[in-house]
Amino acid sequence: MKTLLRLTALVKPYFWWMALAALIGFATTGSGIGLLMTSGYIIAKAALQPPLGALQLGIAGVRMFGIARGALRYAERLISHNITFKILAKLRLWFYDAIEPLAPARLMHFKSGDLLQRIVDDIQSLENIYTRVLAPPLTALLVGLLMWFLVGVYSLQAALIVLTFHLLAGIGIPLLTMQLSRGVSKGIMQHKTEQQILALDLFQGIGELQLYGKLPAHLTAMRTAESGKLRLERKNAMIDGLHDSLTGLLMNGAVIAVLWALIPCISTGQVNGISLTVITLAVMASFEPFLPLPGTVKHLEADKHAGERLFEILDAKPETSAPASPLAFPREHTIQVERLSFTYPGSRSKALDSISFKVLPGEHIAIVGPSGAGKSTITNLFMRFWNPSEGSISIGGNNISLFDPEELRRNIALVSQRTYLFAETIRENLRLAGPNATDEELKRALTAAGLGHFTSKLDEWTGQHGMKLSGGERQRIAIARVLLQKAPIMILDEATANLDGVTESEVTQTLQAISAGKTLITITHRLKAMEQYNRILVLEKGKIVEQGVHSELMARDGLYRRMWELQHVVEVG
């Protein structure tokens, strides 16, 4: 119930529009009832062969209700769909605004396929919250009250009969539907999520599946998920057919019961034949708004499940947040790291254990160490993807937690080992770093990054994940982004780890050239061109075990020298 109340609160700004649409929907159904009543009146009256003038009232009623029904139906659909699309747009923006601060720390426990399912299908299913959950019961209630007064004018007994059948159609059948379809909508959504995850794994890992002979098993899992979803959808369709049939059966039962109650009244003169015809047709037409109510129960379950899945993510507290009054990023860029420690959630061992170092403006340092030493964790903390467990990072004498995270990231250019390129053109991928950059600025950045031959290919599509480009070209695109970003601090996190020796050397030279005059922190486990750094920090198991320039570290019999000798012996061999 709490989830439904929270979802309902999201559509509260559109309350008056929803009320107007519900009233127009009621008027539409009322016009349909009036159309059948006046049509029945004309037919019954005409059978008595009265003067034409006696039928004028019925003829005018048919015209009025016929035109009104079509016009009101159009207006109701126009307003309700407009509300639905506004609600859907609001939900998507609301979800994105809420999920963006959670990345990446709070989203690392979710599979990408599952997140995609929540962002697309779960939000899409919430578009029914007004048109199929909130509006139908209100319309049915108003029609039920209308029929109580219309039939009650002729017979209280008949009015009670109609009310009883309306309650059975409006409460009894939905309760039966809820019992029969319990878990069906949730199961369908779960199977869809599983399909989404399996499909995404297939597209991204089809090479590995083929290589290790696991493709048949993966396809079998996809077929199993599909068959499970189809089984539940067939059950869902059978339940739909059942409640439609039951509603029709109740409508016929109501007509028979009303006739049984009113026919004796004809002999007493309380009801005449024409009135009996009109009432009977009105009772038949009054069941129209009760047809969607069993579906309301199913959509209610689906919306509740979708809301729970969305709130599961949104209720998570962001790992980092902007301060109430953020400081401006300082002009003086001295970096001070003091007793910095960090432990990843769910882990017992520290990724970083009380490390301290200082980087002066324009200084170039390297942080090296074996895999798992905690090097990339430093990057995550500098970019404020996580907050330190202990200690602090300061820039210009101010703790980075006092800056707006977006402002901080605009002033720290990052080149990681995995450069993500969107399925867009080269131009659009470059404009991530410089949204207002002109084509000339883009071309200069490409040329400086060693991609001069790309200056005539700004509108060329890079492919999914940039797969039309080589690894070296993708890294050079990242370098061009750094140039466009114009940040005073650069962090290179294993920027050349996945490149061949020749390309690595070229990219390294380019990075050194563009970092002149900037503060540079290079994080790597590959010890190449170490002589160019002002200082080298050696990490092992989250601690700084050595530091100094290349010649000093080589003079010691420590971890750095062993790493250097091992790598260079392997290369020579």
Q: Is the pLDDT of residue 504 over 80?
A: no
pLDDT at 569: 66
535-540, strands of its sheet edge to edge: 412-416, 489-493, 519-524, 364-368, 535-540, 543-548
pLDDT at 153: 85
Among residues 438, 415, 411, 412, the alpha carbon closest in space to that of 427 is found at 438
> What amino acid occupies position 472?
G
Q: Is the pLDDT of residue 572 over 50?
A: no
Q: Is the pLDDT of residue 478 over 90?
A: no
- Give all domains of the chain, ordered by start, each with its CATH number: 2-314 (1.20.1560.10), 335-572 (3.40.50.300)
Token pair 């050397």 is found at: 505
Residue pair 145/30 in contact (Cβ under 8 Å)? The answer is: no
Q: Is the pLDDT of residue 396 over 90?
A: yes
Among residues 416, 528, 423, 438, the alpha carbon closest in space to that of 482 is found at 416
The token pair that represents 442 in the structure block:
């883009």
Q: Is the pLDDT of residue 37 over 70?
A: yes
3-state SS, residue 548: strand
Work out the pLDDT band at 356, boundaries 50, 70, 90: very high
Residue pair 544/357 in contact (Cβ under 8 Å)? The answer is: yes
312-318, long-range: CB < 8 A, 24+ apart: 313/98, 313/99, 313/102, 313/106, 313/107, 313/110, 313/115, 313/118, 314/95, 314/98, 314/99, 316/102, 316/106, 317/106, 318/101, 318/102, 318/105, 318/106
Percent of the chain clearing pLDDT 90 (strictly above)? 29
The residues, ordered by sequence, that sit 6+ positions from 565 with a Cβ below 8 Å of its Cβ are none
Q: Is the peptide bond before 104 cis (omega within 30 degrees of 0)?
A: yes
Averaged confidence pLDDT in the chain: 86
pLDDT at 119: 80
- Of the ranges 172-186, 304-318, 332-346, which is most confident? 332-346
The token pair that represents 119 in the structure block:
């962002």
Work out the pLDDT band at 573, boundaries 50, 70, 90: very low
Can you tell me the mean pLDDT for 502-525? 82
- The sign of the dihedral angle between the CA atoms of 562, 564, 567, 569 is negative
pLDDT at 295: 80
**Rounded alpha-carbon distances, angstroms, from residue 531 to 87, 369, 400, 554:** 59, 16, 30, 11
Distance of CA 362 to the CA centre of its chain: 41
Distance of CA 532 to the CA centre of its chain: 46
pTM of the model: 0.69
Can you tell me the mean pLDDT for 331-335? 92
The token pair that represents 541 in the structure block:
């198991």
HSE (side-chain half, CA atoms, 13 Å) at 551 = 2
β-pairing, 489-493 vs 412-416, is parallel
pLDDT at 186: 80
Residue pair 479/447 in contact (Cβ under 8 Å)? The answer is: no
Work out the pLDDT band at 224, boundaries 50, 70, 90: very high
Q: Is the pLDDT of residue 301 over 90?
A: no
